[in-house]
Amino acid sequence: MENDSWRHWRAFTALMTPAFAVASRPGLASEPGFAPWISAGEGFADAARRFVEAANGSFGAGTGGPVPRAAGQADRSAAALDAARRFADALREQFANFRMPWNPGSAARDPFGAAGAPSVAYAPALGATREHQQRAERLADAWRGMDEAQTRLQRLWSDALQEAANGFAHDLAGKPPASHDPAALREVYDRWIEAAETAYARTASSETFCQALADFVNASSAWRKEQQASIEHWAKQFDLPTRSEVNSLVQRLKAVETALAAALAAAPAARTREAPVARESAGAREAAGARKSTGIRKSASVRKSTSKKPAKSKR
C-alpha cells in the first residue's frame, strides 16, 4: 500500500462507487435528505480526528519513528485513552440512534435523532372500509414492530463498537505502533479488526443479542405476512394470480407426484427412469445396458465381507 492509505481507500471507493463522489459534491449538505448523514459523518470524523491526534501525541509521532518516552508520557497516554473513550462513545451514539428516514418514528426526517414514534390513534373500524382500515393498521403495526426490533439490535451493535474502540485504544496503549510507515499502519489496521471482531463476537453470542436478533427476524416475518396479504388483496382487484393460488396449485401437483411415485414403487415392473440426457458420458452409456440386467448387485452380506479386504482392484 502507498503511504496515505486512507486517501487511497477513498480514491478506490470513489472509483468503485460513483455515489461516494456524488456525496462529496458541494451543496448537497444543504439538502435536507442528506444533512443528517453529512452531519453524522462530520461528527464521526471530528471524534476520530481528536482520537488520532491524541494517539499520535501519546503512541507515536507523525515523523515516522517511535517516540521516546518523555516525562509527560503518562499524561499523554491518559489524554489518548480519554480521546478513545470519547471516540467510542461517539461511535456508539451515532449507530445506536440511526434510523432510516422512511421508518416510522423518523417524522422529523432526522435519521440520527432520538425522536420517538408518533402515537397513532386508530379510529374505530366501522362500515364498508372496516376491513381495509384494519388491514392497513396491521401492516403499520408490523412495520413499527420491525422498526423497534431493529433499533434494539442496532443499540447492541453500537455497544459492540464502543467496546471495540475501547479495546483498540488499550491495545494501542500497550503496544504503540513503531512508526507510521505503511507496514506499521497496516498492522494497526489489523489490530483494529481484531479488536472489533473480538468485541462483536462477545456481544453477538450473548443471550441479549440472540434474543434481539430473533425478535428482529420474527418481526420481519410478521411484516412480510401483512405485506403479502395487502398485495394479494390488490392483486385480486385486478384479477391477477396471487401467491396463495400458485401455492395451492403447487401443493396439488406435489400430491399428484407423490401418489405417482408411490404407485411406481409399488409396481416395480412398471418402474421407469428419466432418460439420461444426450451428453451422457461413456460410463453413462454403459449404464444403459446395465439397467436392463438384473441380479447384478451384490447382497449386503457379500458387500460386507468384501469391504474388509483392502482389495486393490475393487477399492
Partner 1 sequence: MTPEAAFAALAAARDVVAGCSPKDVVWRSGKVTLYRYRPLAPARADQGVRRVPLLIVYALVNRPYMMDLQEDRSLIRGLLGAGEDVYLIDWGYPDGADRYTTLADYVESQLHGCVRWILDARRLASLTLLGVCQGGVLSLCYAALHPENVRNLITMVTPVDFHTSKDLLSKWARRIDVAALVAQGNVAGDTLNQLFLSLMPFRLTQQKYVDLLSGGAERARIENFMRVEQWIFDSPDQAAVAFGEFVRWCYQENRLVKNQLELGGRHVDLRTLAVPVLNLMGKRDHLVPPESSAALRYAIASKDYTALEFDLGHIGMYVSSRAQREVPAAIAGWLAAR
Site for partner 1 in 252-291 (CB under 8 A): 254, 261, 273-274, 276-277, 279-281, 283-284, 286-288, 290-291
Applying CB under 8 A, which of residues 121, 174, 238, 297 lies at the interface with partner 1? 297
User: Shortest gap between Cβ of 107 and partner 1 (angstroms)?
Assistant: 28
Asked if 234 is part of the footprint of partner 1 (rule: CB under 8 A), the reply reads no
Contacts of 295 (CB under 8 A, 6+ apart): none
Asked if 298 is part of the footprint of partner 1 (rule: CB under 8 A), the reply reads yes
User: Shortest gap between Cβ of 119 and partner 1 (angstroms)?
Assistant: 26
User: Shortest gap between Cβ of 55 and partner 1 (angstroms)?
Assistant: 19
Determine the Cα–Cα distance for residues 67 and 77; give it in Å rounded to an integer. 12
Max Cα distance, the chain (Å): 95
Kindly report the CA angle at 286 between 282 and 291, in degrees rounded to 5? 145
Site for partner 1 in 158-217 (CB under 8 A): 186, 189-190, 193, 196-197, 200-201, 204-205, 210-211, 213-214, 217
Could you give the residue ranges of the DSSP H alpha helices within the chain?
A: 5-16, 18-23, 35-59, 73-96, 130-174, 182-204, 207-237, 243-266, 282-292, 300-307
For 236-252, give the DSSP string: HHTT---HHHHHHHHHH
Instruction: Classify residue 127 as left (phi > 0), alpha (psi -120 to 50) or beta.
Output: left
Residue ranges that bind partner 1, judged by CB under 8 A: 1-2, 8-9, 11-12, 15-16, 186, 189-190, 193, 196-197, 200-201, 204-205, 210-211, 213-214, 217-218, 221-222, 224-225, 228, 243, 246-247, 250-251, 254, 261, 273-274, 276-277, 279-281, 283-284, 286-288, 290-291, 293, 296-300, 302-303, 307, 310, 312-315
